[in-house]
Amino acid sequence: MKLLTKKYLILLVIFELFFVACNTKTNNTSQWRGPDRQGIYYETELLKTWPENGPELIWSFEGLGAGHSSVGIGNDRVFINGMPDTLGVLYSFDLDGNLLWEKIYGTEWHANYTGSRSTPLVVDDVVYLESGMGIIYCFDAFNGDIIWEVDLINKFDAINIQWGITESLLIDGDKLICTPGGEDFNVVALNRFNGETIWISQGFKEQSAYCSPVLVEHNNTRLVVTMTATSVLGIDAETGELYWREEQLQGNKIHANTPVYSNGVIYFSSSSAKQNCGLLALKLSDDGKSVKQLWRNEKFRNLMGGIVIKNGFIYGGQYKKKEWYSINISSGEETLISDKFNSGVIVFADSLFYCYSDKGQVALVDIGPNKFDIKSLFDVPLGTDQHWSHPVINNKRMYIRHGNALMVYNISSK
């Protein structure tokens, strides 16, 4: 009898574990600048050189309309938004490039440097994006139906900014983090299922500044780190409490680069001729509730191309110049490693860097503290307007968006 009881209990436990495993929904997320927002894609078996005209173009689509956002990928679908006239449209493609659906979601930014800004955030079966008019939309990933929407400007008494709200939303469990920039509702967390407010932070009571926030997990503290008009902010991810603020200036109040975290230090990059600008390194206290300046490099000025940290060095381009630098993360000392390739966006995958210049060339580069060795490059063949979108690497494919065109390249070595 005791033996039967023991066997029964073991079988019951096994059944319960199996049931939980089968019914627990994994949080599958595709977001801005890779899974950690660090500009690093954890892909392997990628090409180390490309053919003369670039890697194989698998498929392309022209007709997105104006925009600077990148793609979001999930559920064997590719999502990207654009603005064919003055209305924003979210497009969904299958992985072969067939258009599955398109959904008009409302007015997009069309005053200057027009078009979509926010990269779609894909979480499980829904897609989130924020328009340049400051409205957050939640879409059903399979049919494009709008599940809910929140007007940040009206709800949180904010004012839109010079070039339109530009922020790729941050996911933290069941919370969406965004920056309306209102005086009393500066940074907020919304319930991702219904758009209801979970917490609010007054921040430093400044306008939004084109920055997409990052989630920093430091020891036992979880922080939302972002930039507003003149500030770097560290906010408790659970409650919205402001822990610390450091000054970071830029002439047009543009802080378009997402902060990057590494080993207890957060790095912030802006471009300006002002003091208290450039590249800033802040060391977190053990509990993450305060910071001290480790160093500031006012010579390196990167406005929106992003930076990547690898093996103790920061890599990135100088805004609107043919200059690429390595910066020692301990001292902040910079080294010019190239003056032959136009500056632009930088991401990393499988031991090499992908640099997309503001002149429309994509280069595969071996970069180190004292080298910038271009292995291959090609000219982007399609699209319109500025070359500002950040490349996305997913499942051995590279997604390049140039204005109204999306191009998908095979970069697999197999």
Question: Is this structure's pTM higher than 0.85?
Answer: yes
- At 308, list the tokens: 């990547």
Collapsing DSSP to helix, strand or coil, 389 comes out as: coil
CA 250 to CA 231: how far, in whole Å?
10
Answer whether residue 9 shows pLDDT above 60: no
pLDDT bin (cut points 50, 70, 90) of residue 114 is very high
- At 313, list the tokens: 């060095």
- What DSSP state is assigned to residue 15? H
Q: Which residues contact 56 (CB under 8 A, 6 or more apart)?
A: 409, 410
DSSP H or E segment with residue 16: helix 2-23
**Inter-residue contact 318 to 324 (CB < 8 Å):** yes
CA 128 to CA 132: how far, in whole Å?
14
Give tens-digit pLDDT for 116-162. 999 999 999 999 999 999 999 999 999 999 999 999 999 999 999 99
| DSSP β-ladder status, 99-107 and 221-228 | unpaired
Give tens-digit pLDDT for 46-71. 999 999 999 999 999 999 999 999 99
Fold of 28-410: Methylamine Dehydrogenase; Chain H (2.130.10)
**Higher-confidence position of 18 and 202:** 202
Q: What is the mean pLDDT of residues 96-119?
A: 96
**Higher-confidence position of 23 and 27:** 27
Nearest partner of 326 among 345, 341, 311, 340, judged by Cα: 311
Nearest partner of 36 among 260, 273, 226, judged by Cα: 260
DSSP H or E segment with residue 396: none
**Domain spans of the chain?**
28-410
Give tens-digit pLDDT for 244-257. 999 999 999 999 99
pLDDT of residue 258: 98
Sign of CA dihedral 287, 288, 293, 296: positive
**Inter-residue contact 38 to 308 (CB < 8 Å):** yes
Mean pLDDT over the full length of the chain = 93
Q: What is the mean pLDDT of residues 93-103?
A: 98
CA 391 to CA 118: how far, in whole Å?
14
CA 296 to CA 319: how far, in whole Å?
17
Answer whether residue 8 shows pLDDT above 50: no
Give tens-digit pLDDT for 304-336. 999 999 999 999 999 999 999 999 999 999 999
Cα-based distances in Å from 230 to 36, 90, 205, 256, 294: 25, 32, 10, 12, 19
CA 113 to CA 66: how far, in whole Å?
9
Answer whether residue 27 shows pLDDT above 70: no
Residue type, 344: G
With a pLDDT cut of 90, the percent of the chain lying above it is 91
Cα-based distances in Å from 124 to 142, 160, 197: 11, 30, 21
Classify burial at 14, counting beta carbons within 10 Å of its beta carbon; exposed 0-12, middle 13-18, buried 19 or more: exposed
| Residue where the block lists tokens 């910066």 | 327
**Inter-residue contact 115 to 121 (CB < 8 Å):** no
Collapsing DSSP to helix, strand or coil, 19 comes out as: helix
pLDDT bin (cut points 50, 70, 90) of residue 276 is confident
pLDDT bin (cut points 50, 70, 90) of residue 16 is very low
